[in-house]
C-alpha cells in the first residue's frame, strides 16, 4: 500500500477582505524538500500561516500523514526570515527553548540542545548572545531552535532572504546537511529561483493574488547538491523555465 504524503493540501482557500489563496492543492512526500515560489505579495506567508494553524482556512483540508488535521499548532517547526532569537538568552538557551516548548524537562532539554549544537557545528558559539553573532550564525541558531521545536516537518519562510550571496550559499549547504542527517521534510518559500532549484526536489509556482498553483516542476538534479551544479546546463534550463512562468 502506497504511503500517504507527509503533508497534503486540498483545495485550500483563505479570504480576508479579498481572496488571498484560491483552491490551492499540493503534496509533500516524507523526506522531500519542496519550494514554493511566486510573485511578491501573492500570499506565500498566508499559505504557511494557514498550514501551521495560525490562520483558519475558509475551505479545503490539510492532511498530515494521510489524516485531516484541524488543530495543527505545534505540528510544524516554523522559521521566519528574521531569526527572532531572544537577545537575553545565549545560543544554547535559545535552542533549548525549542525542546522546552515541546514539553521536555529543563535538564533533558539542555542536553539535547547541546548535542544539536555539537552535531551541527555551532557549539563554539553556544555561550554567545545573539548580538555577538553574524547574520549567518543567527540563522543557524534559529534553524536549530526550529528543529528543536519540531524536527518532523519544517516550514521555512524565506529564511535566507536577508543574507548576502556568499553567506546564503553556505547556509544552503548547511541546511542540506541537516536535512540529510535528520531525514527532515521541508517546505520552503523564496523569491530566489536559483535557491529554490538548488535546494528542492520539487518547486510549486504560484500565481498573483489570489494565489493558485500554476504548475509544479520536478528538480531532476542528483544529490548531494554542489555549488557548481548551478552552472550546469540542466540547472540553467530549469531556471529559464521557471522564469518564464513568473
The DSSP element (H or E) to which 173 belongs, if any, is helix 165-182
| pLDDT at residue number 233 | 93
Banded pLDDT at 129 (limits 50, 70, 90)? very high
Q: What is the pLDDT of residues 174-204, one digit of tens each?
A: 999 999 999 999 999 999 999 999 999 999 9
Average pLDDT on 94-111 reads: 90
Residues 6+ apart with CB under 8 A from 71: 53
- Would 215 be classed as within a structural domain? yes
Q: Which of 150, 143, 88 is nearest to 121 (CA)?
A: 143
pLDDT band of residue 74 (cuts 50, 70, 90) is confident
Considering just the CA atoms, what is the radius of gyration of the chain in Å? 18
234 has pLDDT over 80: yes
As a whole number of angstroms, the distance between CA 51 and CA 76 comes to 9
Mean pLDDT over residues 111-135, rounded? 94
What is residue 75's predicted lDDT score, i.e. its pLDDT?
A: 82
**What's the CA gap between 132 and 139, in Å, rounded?**
13
pLDDT at 57: 86
Supply the pLDDT for residue 40: 83
Residue 129 vs residues 126, 163, 167: alpha-carbon distances, Å? 8, 19, 20
Task: Write down the mean pLDDT value for the chain.
Answer: 91
**Residues of the chain with pLDDT > 70: what percent?**
100
On whether residue 123 sits in a domain, the answer given is yes
pLDDT at 133: 93
- Whether 168 maps to a domain, the answer reads no
Phi/psi at 80 (5° precision) = -100, 180
pLDDT band at 209, cuts 50/70/90?
Answer: confident
Query: Given this model, what pLDDT does residue 103 score?
Result: 84
Say if residue 216 is in the same domain as residue 239: yes
Domains of the chain: total:
2
Residue 198, domain extent: 1-73+154-159+185-246
Same domain, 83 and 69: no
Tell whether 61 and 4 lie within a shared domain: yes
- What is the CB-side half-sphere exposure of residue 65 using CA atoms within 13 A? 5
CA gap 239, 107 in Å, rounded = 47
> How high is the pLDDT of residue 152?
84
Please tell me whether residue 192 adopts helix, strand or coil conformation. coil
- pLDDT at 53 (0 to 100): 86
Residues 6+ apart with CB under 8 A from 233: none
The pLDDT-based confidence of 72 (bands split at 50, 70, 90) is: confident
Query: What's the CATH number where 235 sits?
Result: 3.40.50.300
**Residue 85 near residue 63, CB atoms below 8 Å:** no
pTM for this entry: 0.92
Q: Whole-angstrom Cα distance, residue 82 to residue 225?
A: 26
CA 198 from centre of chain = 14
Question: How many residues are given for the chain?
Answer: 246
Give the residue with greater pLDDT, 103 vs 176. Answer: 176
Distance CA 211, CA 40 (A): 11
User: Within a domain: residue 166?
Assistant: no
Amino acid at each position: 500500500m502506497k504511503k500517504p504524503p507527509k503533508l497534503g493540501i486540498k483545495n485550500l482557500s483563505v479570504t480576508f477582505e479579498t481572496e488571498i489563496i484560491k483552491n490551492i492543492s499540493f503534496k509533500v512526500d516524507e523526506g522531500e524538500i519542496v519550494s514554493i515560489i511566486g510573485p511578491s505579495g501573492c500570499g506565500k506567508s498566508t499559505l504557511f500561516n494557514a498550514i501551521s494553524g495560525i490562520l483558519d482556512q475558509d475551505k479545503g483540508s490539510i492532511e498530515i500523514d494521510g489524516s485531516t488535521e484541524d488543530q495543527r499548532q505545534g505540528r510544524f517547526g516554523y522559521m521566519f526570515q528574521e531569526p527572532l532569537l531572544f537577545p537575553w538568552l545565549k545560543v544554547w538557551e535559545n535552542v533549548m527553548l525549542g525542546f522546552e516548548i515541546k514539553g521536555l524537562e529543563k535538564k533533558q532539554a539542555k542536553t539535547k540542545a547541546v548535542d544539536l549544537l555539537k552535531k551541527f557545528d555551532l557549539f563554539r558559539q553556544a555561550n554567545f548572545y545573539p548580538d555577538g553573532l553574524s547574520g549567518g550564525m543567527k540563522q543557524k541558531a534559529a534553524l536549530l531552535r526550529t528543529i528543536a521545536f519540531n524536527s518532523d516537518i519544517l516550514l521555512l519562510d524565506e529564511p535566507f532572504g536577508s543574507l548576502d550571496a556568499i553567506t546564503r550559499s553556505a547556509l544552503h549547504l548547511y541546511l542540506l546537511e541537516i536535512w540529510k542527517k535528520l531525514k527532515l521534510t521541508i517546505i520552503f518559500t523564496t523569491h530566489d529561483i536559483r535557491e529554490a532549484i538548488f535546494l528542492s526536489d520539487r518547486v510549486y509556482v504560484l500565481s498573483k493574488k489570489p494565489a493558485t498553483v500554476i504548475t509544479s516542476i520536478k528538480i531532476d538534479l542528483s544529490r548531494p547538491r554542489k555549488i557548481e551544479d548551478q552552472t550546469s546546463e540542466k540547472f540553467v534550463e530549469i531556471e529559464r523555465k521557471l522564469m518564464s512562468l513568473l
